[in-house]
Chains A and B, each alone.
Chain A
Amino acid sequence: MKTRWFFLITVAVAAISGLLITRSDEKSHLLQSVSLRKMADSLHAVIAANRSVYFQLATQETHRGRMPIHAEVLRQANFAIQTEGAEFSYTLRSLRPINPRQGPQTEVEQRGLRIVAERPDEPYTTEEILGGRSYYTAIYAERATLAACVECHNAHPDSPRRDYRLGDVLGAVVVRIPLEF
């Protein structure tokens, strides 16, 4: 019995080592950790971008008698961060988007959106390769937390669904961290 366990453990260790060696050979340069400084920089980049985009859009839209749209604030803030040289990105996605460009754009997005729609309390996380670049991808459900969310999504002429209720999943935020460069 002991011999059998020893054999099984040996095989398992060899298999795991093999996987790690294979991965290390394929992409030995992959990100191994994130420094506290990098995390603080990233958080600050998001805060700074949100502030600046909010003021910019608030000024512009208030002038037109409208409120800035949440999706636009998020989109512009991400672009502002990219312009500053961020090593992460985020975007809004939905299986039933008002703007067709916000539909899923990768296999992982397609799968992750379905999963978080069913289990919105848990983010969906995985690694994906896009254009040869490895990413850590996390998908968080976006719920209709305010009556305004529900009203807007149900009333918008381009909305493909008009029976949203408070608490329903409208879509998701997709966060990506490249694991190389």
Chain B
Amino acid sequence: MPGTGAGSKAAGNPRPPTPPIPAGPTDWFEDVTGKAGISFVQQFCHERIANILLSSGAGGAVFDYDNDGWVDIFLLNWGPLAGVTDPARCREREPNRLYRNRGDGTFEDVTLRAGLAGTGFGSAATAGDYDNDGFTDLYVANFGVNQLYRNRGDGTFEEIAASAGIDHPGAGISAVWLDADRDGWLDLYVANYLTYQPEAESEQNPGAYPGPLAYPGEPDVFYRNRGDGSFEDATRAAGLWAPRDRAMSISAFDCDLDGDTDIYVSNDDTPNALWLNDGQGRFTNVAMESGVAFNSIGDASGSMNAAIADVDGDGLPDLYITRLGYGSLYVRTPSGYYDDRMWASGLGLLTQKLVGWGGAFLDLDNDTDADLCIVNGSAFVLTGSETLLLENDGSGRFTDAGKAGGAFFQTPIDGRGNAVLDFDNDGRLDLLMTLLADRPVLLHNRHPLDHRWLKLQLEGTRSNRSGYGALITLTAGDRVQRGQAMCPTGFLMQGDARVHFGLGQASRVDRLEILWPSGTRQVLEDLPVDQILKVREPEL
């Protein structure tokens, strides 16, 4: 594809992209980006991080656009933006990229054929089958007008945001598909950052760019899917109107396991929101009383994203919040209150010197607990920071596994997005990261422990076709695990939506129970391990 711009003048980048990072023979993870054929470089269009919008980065989504069983990779680009980028650095926008997974460890660039080159200053993407036709669609949040790419099912997409009524023109930084009212159609939550004013200056730090509080917040928008291919703005009707928020990312998950999808909004220098769903698609912000609005030192320092998993094996979903400032490990208690165990978990010390952006839980060794990977980077200078790979001892205490993780985790990068995927379907979870003004990094998991696993690919019938919102309880031997089928958005990125369970030494899954958003309960028993299991919701 023309204009790949790897560090070229066309990309307007201040430096060449990070060269391939060779892995040692025993490294758990290997940088396979170049080997896999991913040549994308994010177009930065400036010599430095000169303003707050240039600090955030661009992401993408992992999804199987052609239903061949292999997840594909979509990456977003920036390009020139008046008042934000330097017009002398670049005049033309370089395209977004869709990389089709060939299934042999390599990808082919199918951007032009698919019609996904795009326009605008891209931030984040979210993938879901909004029209229940069996093909996963794509929504792109831009600083500027957002886009809805309907998957035609023939390998091509059409951009129909305007006719669908979701061509929102805000400072889009995140979006997520969820079926808020459980009517079987995916609704859409779009997060906006702030109202950028190029003339704003830092009052107290001459020469530095001003922080988020120098700009007015911008309300997020919630669109209800009418089921006819169009959407209506239902932000106020759903109780989600918050005009002063400065969102960075959205996570949609069932925090109280009551069968409906709740929403957590990570805000920049503004208290975070936990919107509790009443089951009918009406929400109430319970962040303050639940203990998830602030960090444990009582400030609302810039939150980037919420990674969600059960870190202590009690079956309740917990949250790890990455921040410019003290992060939070919010561990849910049976009362519904969250206990911030940032210090007690060891994460306070491990993350102390680093500004965290994309945080993602993954069971990296399939030993049944949720480990954590955090990509880091300064918000002010392109000097690079190391990525953290943190291993959970099963009780929610973490230790640094970067050395065993390999050479990549000793390499400074300007990390931003972070997504978990299994691109080679080998049952070991891989990682895809986006970097500021740089190439992405695709890390192949080569962990030596031969633990068992099960991956679920859900298909809703009465529920939304993507199966988002399904609650899963898995029993293998004496271990019971709870999972959720979520639209797995993190900071700027959506990961692999298939639900993955590490099983340790278990040789069979005794019982798998799925509570679909429609209320249908499905039970499967005595399942073989080490497989990707397609499960279709019973039509009754």
A residues whose Cβ falls under 8 Å from a Cβ of B? 27-35, 38, 75, 78-79, 82-83, 85, 87, 89-91, 101, 104-107, 129-133, 174, 176, 178, 180-181
Query: A87 contacts which chain B residues (CB < 8 A)?
Result: 213
CA distance A35 to B342 in the complex (A): 33
**Complex contact B204–A131 (CB within 8 A):** no
Tell yes or no: B323 within 8 A of A by CB.
yes
Quick one: given A34-B204, A174-B297, A181-B269, are A105 and B343 in contact (CB under 8 Å)? yes
CA distance A83 to B293 in the complex (A): 9
Q: Shortest CB–CB separation between residue A91 and chain B, in angstroms?
A: 4
CA distance A7 to B206 in the complex (A): 35
Quick one: given A79-B271, A181-B324, are A28 and B297 in contact (CB under 8 Å)? no
**Complex contact A32–B324 (CB within 8 A):** no
**Complex contact A75–B298 (CB within 8 A):** yes
**Complex contact A105–B355 (CB within 8 A):** no
Quick one: given A79-B288, A105-B297, are A29 and B355 in contact (CB under 8 Å)? no
Q: Smallest CB-CB separation from B321: which chain A residue?
A: A131
Q: List 11 A-B contacts (CB under 8 A).
A: A28-B207, A29-B380, A79-B294, A82-B298, A105-B297, A130-B352, A131-B324, A131-B352, A131-B354, A131-B356, A132-B355
Q: Could you say which of B206, B288, B299, B353 contacts A129, with CB atoms under 8 Å apart? A: B353
CA distance A27 to B383 in the complex (A): 11
Q: Smallest CB-CB separation from A93: which chain B residue?
A: B297
Give 3 closest A-B pairs by Cβ, nearest first: A181-B211, A132-B355, A29-B208
Tell yes or no: B540 within 8 A of A by CB.
no
CA distance A91 to B340 in the complex (A): 15
Q: Shortest CB–CB separation between residue A155 and chain B, in angstroms?
A: 24
Within B200-214, which residues are at the interface with A (CB < 8 Å)? 203-209, 211-213
Known: A129-B353, A174-B297, A178-B299. 16 other contacts (CB 8 A): A31-B204, A32-B205, A75-B298, A79-B293, A82-B298, A105-B296, A105-B343, A105-B348, A130-B325, A131-B324, A131-B356, A132-B324, A132-B354, A132-B385, A133-B325, A181-B211
Query: B300 contacts which chain A residues (CB < 8 A)?
Result: 82-83, 89
Query: B213 contacts which chain A residues (CB < 8 A)?
Result: 85, 87, 181
CA distance A130 to B170 in the complex (A): 31
Within B241-272, which residues are at the interface with A (CB < 8 Å)? 269-271
Interface centre among B302, B340, B352, B376 (most CB of A within 10 A): B352
**Complex contact B204–A132 (CB within 8 A):** no
**Complex contact A129–B208 (CB within 8 A):** no
**Complex contact A82–B299 (CB within 8 A):** yes
**Complex contact A78–B378 (CB within 8 A):** no
Query: B207 contacts which chain A residues (CB < 8 A)?
Result: 28-29
CA distance A180 to B269 in the complex (A): 12
B residues whose Cβ falls under 8 Å from a Cβ of A? 203-209, 211-213, 269-271, 288, 293-294, 296-302, 323-327, 339-340, 342-343, 348-349, 351-356, 376, 378-381, 385
**Complex contact B269–A105 (CB within 8 A):** no
Q: Shortest CB–CB separation between residue A68 and chain B, in angstroms?
A: 17
Q: Could you say which of A31, A34, A176 contacts B297, with CB atoms under 8 Å apart? A: A176
**Complex contact B299–A176 (CB within 8 A):** yes
CA distance A33 to B208 in the complex (A): 13
Interface centre among A28, A38, A89 (most CB of B within 10 A): A89
Q: Could you say which of B203, B212, B297 contacts A91, with CB atoms under 8 Å apart? A: B297
**Complex contact A132–B296 (CB within 8 A):** no
**Complex contact B376–A132 (CB within 8 A):** yes
Q: Shortest CB–CB separation between residue B56 and chain A, in angstroms?
A: 14
Interface centre among B270, B326, B340, B381 (most CB of A within 10 A): B326
Q: Smallest CB-CB separation from B246: which chain A residue?
A: A85
CA distance A38 to B355 in the complex (A): 26
Quick one: given A105-B342, A105-B343, A106-B297, are A181 and B204 in contact (CB under 8 Å)? no
Quick one: given A101-B296, A105-B348, A181-B213, are A133 and B204 in contact (CB under 8 Å)? no
**Complex contact B301–A178 (CB within 8 A):** yes
Query: B302 contacts which chain A residues (CB < 8 A)?
Result: 181
Quick one: given A29-B205, A75-B298, A79-B298, are A131 and B340 in contact (CB under 8 Å)? no
Q: Smallest CB-CB separation from A76: which chain B residue?
A: B288
Quick one: given A32-B205, A106-B343, A181-B269, are A130 and B297 in contact (CB under 8 Å)? yes
Q: Shortest CB–CB separation between residue A95 and chain B, in angstroms?
A: 14
Q: Shortest CB–CB separation between residue A126 and chain B, in angstroms?
A: 14
Query: A132 contacts which chain B residues (CB < 8 A)?
Result: 324-325, 351, 353-356, 376, 378, 385
CA distance A125 to B41 in the complex (A): 44
**Complex contact A83–B271 (CB within 8 A):** yes
**Complex contact B205–A30 (CB within 8 A):** yes
CA distance A90 to B324 in the complex (A): 18
CA distance A180 to B210 in the complex (A): 9
Q: Shortest CB–CB separation between residue B307 and chain A, in angstroms?
A: 15
Q: Smallest CB-CB separation from B212: which chain A residue?
A: A181
CA distance A33 to B324 in the complex (A): 21
CA distance A180 to B211 in the complex (A): 8
**Complex contact B355–A133 (CB within 8 A):** yes
